[in-house]
Amino acid sequence: MLNTFIFPNQSKNNHICLLKLFLVLTPNEVMEDLPGTKQQLESVKHLIADLRDRFEEYLIKQAFKGYPAILEGPTQHIMGLKGKRIRPILLLSTCEMFGGEIEDAMGPASAIEIFHNFSLVHDDIIDNADTRRGAEAVHKKYGLHNAILVGDGMLLHSFIQLSKSRTDNLKDLLRVFNKAASEVIEGEQYDVNFETQDKVSEEEYMLMIKNKTSVLLAASLQLGAIIGNASVEDQQHIYDFGLNLGLAFQIKDDYLDSYGDTSFGKRIGGDILQNKKTFLLITAMNNASRSDLEEIKRLSSEKDEAKKISDMLAIFDRLNVKGKTFSKMEQLYSTSMKSLNKLSIEEEKKSVLKTLAEMIYNRSR
């Protein structure tokens, strides 16, 4: 069921439908596997749910005031889909963790979420994707030209929302947001370039996912820290935490596509079928013999989907790709937690972010 997203211009008789639980996954399934007492985990879950509810209310009632009415339909479509709202939740949690006021952070939190969804609209155009979050992609539902314009409108509106921060740190907020926005677009270009590259190095791939995925998550945390008046050192620590967590998250995403839990109904091997240059494929190619490389090249045009997946997984297993990928994830996650532990605040205040990190990293789908 889609979230009901209402613009100020629409009928006041419409009701706001809020998703009552935040989580990267199904809350209870993830919570049961995490360390800590059930009471502690439930407490964190309720804190997250409360932040999400407050953010959704602001997003619906305030964030799109003054937005062009002609763009509302497609924007409502993408913003109303069942997103995780990871980035705004991290921003708000960080702001509160450093003693800031949540109300001061609502504008920047919506800026991050609107920018993220703008990038999804244009990403779907580039990939010619038919669906997004189980619904029609904006360009499929409303047409290519409309989708381009809506994406542009959302990009510009994200800066309007950023400027609504109730702090004196707008210059710093703009510096962080502008840098992240530029890097996200740079990362998208790298991803496009990879489609025509025969070989991609691990360094090139890590730079691509850093820019395309991690920097916006890291910037969300840093923006929250700025609004909460954190020290420059803590701002850097929280940024590094998010950057490495985002990298671990993306590689885990690659990993789950080949080695995930099929009990959730998700098909294994989608990236393999698309010949997508994931961390697993890049690791395989960089450790492959000549005969392995020839087999990988042959499989890129294999029409039998089941055979293509099974044969590629056999190559991955032979080259210990699974183990190498898991080691990389563990290294990045460990580095992220070291940065979090360097923060000059009480351990109790770090609990929400630590639990969120565990939820993000320990997911099984």
Nearest to 50 by CA among 20, 23, 15: 20
Token pair, residue 65, equals 């005031």
Alpha-carbon distance 227 to 204, whole Å? 33
- Judge contact between 285 and 293, C-beta under 8 A: yes
- Of residues 259 and 182, which shows the higher confidence score? 182
Alpha-carbon distance 329 to 95, whole Å? 27
Q: What is the CATH number of domain 27-361?
A: 1.10.600.10
> pLDDT tens digits for 284-296?
999 999 999 999 9
> pLDDT tens digits for 98-147?
999 999 999 999 999 999 999 999 999 998 889 888 899 999 999 999 99
Question: Which sequence spans correspond to the domains of the chain?
Answer: 27-361
Average pLDDT score, the chain: 86
Alpha-carbon distance 179 to 194, whole Å? 23
Residue position matching structure tokens 């509810």: 53
Neighbouring CB atoms inside 10 A of 297's CB total 11
- Of residues 88 and 358, which shows the higher confidence score? 88
* Beta carbons within 8 Å of 58's beta carbon, 6+ residues apart: 106, 109, 110
* Beta carbons within 8 Å of 11's beta carbon, 6+ residues apart: none
- Judge contact between 114 and 63, C-beta under 8 A: yes
Give the CB-side neighbour count of residue 350, counting CA atoms within 13 A.
19
Alpha-carbon distance 134 to 202, whole Å? 31
At residue 40, the pLDDT reads 64
Neighbouring CB atoms inside 10 A of 203's CB total 9
- Of residues 319 and 168, which shows the higher confidence score? 319
> pLDDT tens digits for 192-215?
999 888 889 999 999 999 999 999
Give the confidence band of 27 by pLDDT, cuts at 50, 70, 90: very low
- Judge contact between 342 and 243, C-beta under 8 A: no
